[in-house]
Amino acid sequence: MSGTFITFEGGEGSGKTTQINLLEKYLCDSGRKCLLTREPGGSAGGDAIRQLLLTGAADKWHPVSETLLFQAARVEHVETLIKPALARGEIVLCDRFLDSTLVYQGISKGLGMEYVRQLYRLTLGNFMPDFTIILDIDPQIGVSRAKRRSGNETRFEHMEMEFHRKVREGFLALAVVNPGRYIVINANQSLEEVSLAVRRIFAL
Ligand code: T5A
State pTM to two decimals. Answer: 0.95
Residue whose CB lies within 8 A of the most ligand 1 atoms, among 43, 96, 191, for a mutation test: 96
Q: Is the C-beta atom of 3 inside 6 A of ligand 1?
A: no
CA–centroid distance, 167 to ligand 1, in Å, is: 13
Per residue of the chain (204 residues), give pLDDT as tens: 689 999 999 999 999 999 999 999 999 999 999 999 999 999 999 999 999 999 999 889 999 999 999 999 999 999 999 999 999 999 999 999 999 999 999 999 999 999 999 999 999 999 999 999 999 999 999 999 988 876 777 777 778 899 999 999 999 999 999 999 999 999 999 999 999 999 998 876
pLDDT at position 3, please? Answer: 96
pLDDT at position 204, please? Answer: 60
pLDDT at position 165, please? Answer: 95
Going from the C-alpha of 10 to that of each of 29, 61, 62, 81, the distances in angstroms are 26, 22, 23, 23
Smallest CA separation from ligand 1 atom 34, residue:
15
Looking at the structure of the chain, the number of domains it has is: 1
Of ligand 1's atoms, which has the minimum distance to the CA of residue 153?
Answer: 18
Dist CA 176 CA 128 (whole Å):
17
Q: Would you say the C-alpha torsion 168, 196, 149, 77 has a positive or negative sign?
A: negative
Domain that holds residue 115: 4-201
pLDDT at position 91, please? Answer: 97
Q: Is the C-beta atom of 156 inside 6 A of ligand 1?
A: yes
pLDDT at position 159, please? Answer: 80
Of ligand 1's atoms, which has the minimum distance to the CA of residue 10?
Answer: 32
Q: Is the C-beta atom of 149 inside 6 A of ligand 1?
A: yes
pLDDT at position 137, please? Answer: 97
Which CATH number belongs to the domain containing residue 123 in this structure?
3.40.50.300
Residue whose CB lies within 8 A of the most ligand 1 atoms, among 75, 78, 100, for a mutation test: 100
